Amino acid sequence: MGLFRQKSSEELVYLDLSMNLLEGIISEAHLANLTKLWHLGLSSNRLSLEFSPNWVPPFRLYWLDVSSCSLGKKFPSWIRNQANMSWLFMANAGIEDAMPDWFWVSFVQVEGLDISKNTIYGSLPTIFSPNVRLLDLADNFFSGTIDPAIGESMPNLMLLSLSGNKLYGDVPSSLCQLQNVAVIDLARNLFSGELPNCWKHNLTILDLSSNNLSGGIPDTIGSLSSLEALHLSNNSLSGEIPLSLQGCTKLFVLDLRQNKFTGKVPTWIGESCPSLKILRLRSNMFAGRIPQNLSRLLGLHIVDLAHNNLSGTIPKSFGRFAAMKVKREDKEYVLQGYKIVYVEMMEVFMKGKALMYGDYNGILSQVISLDLSGNNLYGTIPRELGSLRGLMSLNLSGNHLNGEIPKEVGSMQSLESLDLSRNDLSGAIPSTMTYLTFLSYLDLSSNNLSGRIPSGNQLETFNESTYSGNPGLCGFPVKQICENDDNDAGTRNNNTSEEDGAGSQVWLSYLSTALGGFVVGFWVLWGTLILKSNWKDAYLRYIDRQYDRFYVIVAITFNRFKNSYV
């Protein structure tokens, strides 16, 4: 903090220390000599600004950014006399107070205002400054309605974010008059009624999710040729997806989840939206077959059509999803523009629960998921899906799929979550599933599967519930003993401590025999391998392939012994 005490600081006009690891307290004394300061940036540090309520700063700021600094629970009164302020950023500053009446009067020249992620309450003003270009009041406790003339009072507005508040009433039709607006985010409020049918201009992001909206999608939304993200999820919207929406040729995200939409999944999506990366139509009433031409969308990496009334077979063409074939290593943002002021958030259902992913540092672009669960799909699981080696989550549960689990599933090397439960699958579980070394969630329950459960790698980590409802299965971890296999792991579920101890001795015997046999066999072969170089190379390659498998078996055996002993 010594910088603030230097005599030369009296001439300082621009000071920006944002995005560092600074910590400590800034008091009035630190800023007392900065009489000519007009730009002050302290955001994204661990600083606390502690000023007396009656302090009057010696400067007149044009720009102030103290986001993610601690300003105290009371709304900072020291900014009241900063009448020349044009850009004010106080997001995530720990404020828990009412919006003061003087605020909207004092800052008549403000162009950018971000006080999001606080606990500020009160009503929105009737009239905003006509100079406002950026207005972000998201994630607070503002209540009431939006002034119907909001679009007329802020003709220069480029970004409007009022999400995560308690605003209600209709979505004002005057928003359609904003010729320069690029982002409108009114999500997570209590808005009701139908959407206005007057959309136009250069809107890039429209987020009206998690409200109480009804009616259909207005045809004029299709005139938004620059639209990259359309979020209408978690409302009560109905009707079919209008044909006019194919005019949104630059869409990256189409999210209509949890509404009452009907009709078929439009085939034109695979033709008119070539840039689409995320398609979420989950929990609606869509019927008919799944369009095969969705696979033409080269960038599509999240597909969620779950919990509809879709029928027919799974398209074999889904094995051609280009963005699902390779695991994403490079991070890129789902949305190309406005990533600083609008962060794409996405709820993805995988591993048996809903997980929230944000597009911070391009993380969302690395999530690859295909969910067709809870429909009326029938037929076999296409072998072609095995080519989706970048897929992290595959959910086909709750359908009427039959036939065997294709062995090609073992080629989906990035799978972390696989759910094939509640179908009519039969036959044996393919041994190739032991190749899925990243698998942490597996559900094969409620099918007609039979035979021995494969062992090895991740399959050793799942419990009996993973395979329940398949009476034909045998072997660890289910209780059913495989024919002619008295030593199967399923026999180890005994009721007395004496039997548990005996089971522990058996596993110790197995372990010592395996280790001893490995050592003896290794030295018996060694002399031959020295003489036969080609045998030696083959053997060493074999050892290299089996090392990880052997390590996992030893670890699992030890855990079983430990658990049975305890």
The tokens describing 276, both together, are 């689409």
Which sequence spans correspond to the domains of the chain? 494-565
Strand partners, 400: 378
Q: Among 43, 13, 50, which Cα is nearest to 28's? A: 50
Between CA 438 and CA 248, with CA 326 as vertex, the angle to 5 degrees is 120
Angstrom distance (rounded) from CA 107 to CA 367: 42
pLDDT of residue 178: 87
Mean pLDDT value across residues 82-86: 89
User: Over 72-90, what HEC string results?
Assistant: CCCCCHHHCCCCCCCEEEC
Q: At what angle do helices 533-565 and 497-531 cross, to 10 degrees?
A: 170
d(CA 566, CA 562): 6
Q: Give how far Cα 156 sits from Cα of 124, 166, 180, 345, Å.
A: 18, 25, 6, 27
pLDDT digits (tens, 9 = 90+) for 465-484: 999 999 999 999 999 999 86
> Cβ of 444: how many Cβ atoms within 10 Å?
25
| Inter-residue contact 274 to 251 (CB < 8 Å) | no
Secondary structure class of 150 (helix, strand, coil): helix
What are the backbone angles phi and psi of residue 15, rounded to the nearest 5°?
A: -140, 115
φ/ψ (deg, to 5) at 274: -65, -20
pLDDT tens sequence across 124-164: 988 888 899 999 999 999 999 999 988 888 889 999 999 99
Per the CB < 8 A criterion, the answer to whether 331 and 398 are in contact is: no
Measured distance CA(435)–CA(413) in Å, rounded = 7
Do residues 258 and 237 lie in contact, with contact meaning Cβ atoms separated by under 8 Å?
no
**CB–CB of 267/293 below 8 Å?**
yes
> Whole-angstrom Cα distance, residue 35 to residue 29?
12
What residues have CB less than 8 Å from 9, skipping those under 6 apart?
Answer: 3, 33, 34
Spatial contact of 344 and 254, defined as CB atoms under 8 Å apart: no
- Confidence grade of residue 185 (pLDDT, cut at 50, 70, 90): very high
- Closest C-alpha to 392, from 363, 424, 432: 363
Q: Region 199-220: what's the mean pLDDT? A: 94
Q: Are 29 and 51 in contact (CB under 8 A)?
A: no
**Per-residue pLDDT at 407:** 95
Mean model confidence pLDDT for the chain:
83
CA distances in angstroms from 85 to 38, 63, 240, 544, listed in the order given: 9, 6, 47, 66
Task: Answer yes or no: are the C-beta atoms of 90 and 118 closer than 8 Å.
Answer: yes
Global model pTM greater than 0.85: no
Question: What's the token pair of residue 119?
Answer: 């606990």
- Lowest-pLDDT range of 65-79, 270-284, 409-423, 526-540: 526-540
| Residue 352 pLDDT level (bands cut at 50, 70, 90) | confident
CA distances from 43 to 17, 77, 88, 201, 435 (A): 7, 19, 11, 33, 47
pLDDT, position 84: 87
Q: What is the pLDDT of residues 240-273, one digit of tens each?
A: 999 999 999 999 999 999 999 999 999 999 999 9
Q: Are 433 and 406 in contact (CB under 8 A)?
A: no
pLDDT tens readout for residues 363-421: 788 899 999 999 999 999 999 999 999 999 999 999 999 999 999 999 999 999 999 99
Q: Is the dihedral of CA 516, 520, 526, 529 positive or negative?
A: negative
